[in-house]
Amino acid sequence: MKSDVRRAYDEAAKAYADRLFDELANKPFDRAMLDRIIAKVGDSGTVCDMGCGPGQIARYLKDHGAEVNGIDLSSGKLEQARRLNRDINFIRGDMRALDGVADSTFAGIVAAYAIVNIPCDQLPSVFREFKRILRPGGNLLLSFHIGEETLHVTDLFGVAVKLDFFFHLPITVKDLLAAAEFAVDEVIERKPYPDVEAQTRRAYMFARRLA
């Protein structure tokens, strides 16, 4: 099976939005993480919701006082994000090579489960781009599924897809962030919420771009 990330998310975009746009209502831990990055960024600039999907993270950030933009690879996801968040700007981009985004554009990046379809050997390109588009001292919040396995998914919320999910080890991600010249301030792990989400252990990392 050959994973086709863009096509999978294009085709499942509406189903994904229907299922997950309101998910934060049931995830107090995730809301607390977002509150923390909002406080860290303060009024220093715009936060990027990277791999924004239908834009539920961007929505929360905006509703809690942040200036926010969203970036995603999938046009279908962007269509949903724009439909659901008419007051937020979303653009198409590939986080491994964000050609259209200038250096030091953002004061913060929230990449919520955005690297879950990125294999480990491509994370250095992603973190190089995160560093480039963040201002010196800019804040990053990254979340992902913990593990070493690759999950081949053929059904995403009732839509037939070919999509690989890559789990990552916190120590590996931490080392790759450090190699990309980030200071990793905190790594927090949590158990999955029962009945709310996939039953995987999760990691949340706060990091800062070094000057």
Ligand X SMILES: C[S@@+](CC[C@H](N)C(=O)[O-])C[C@H]1O[C@@H](n2cnc3c(N)ncnc32)[C@H](O)[C@@H]1O
Q: Which residues make up the interface to ligand X (CB under 6 A)?
A: 5, 9, 20, 51-53, 57, 72-74, 77, 94-96, 112-114, 116-117
Q: How far apart are CA 20 and CA 11, in angstroms?
A: 15
Minimum CB distance to ligand X, residue 87 (Å): 18
In the bound state with ligand X, the residue whose beta carbon lies nearer, of 20 and 187, is 20
Minimum CB distance to ligand X, residue 45 (Å): 20
Side chain identity, residue 121: D
In the bound state with ligand X, the residue whose beta carbon lies nearer, of 159 and 183, is 159
Q: How far apart are CA 85 and CA 145, in angstroms?
A: 26
- Report angle CA 185, 113, 195 to the nearest 5 degrees: 110
Contact 76, 11 (CB under 8 A): yes
Query: Residue 75: which region, alpha, beta or left (left: phi > 0; alpha: psi -120 to 50)?
Result: alpha
In the bound state with ligand X, the residue whose beta carbon lies nearer, of 29 and 136, is 29
Minimum CB distance to ligand X, residue 119 (Å): 11
Minimum CB distance to ligand X, residue 137 (Å): 24
In the bound state with ligand X, the residue whose beta carbon lies nearer, of 112 and 176, is 112
Side chain identity, residue 85: N
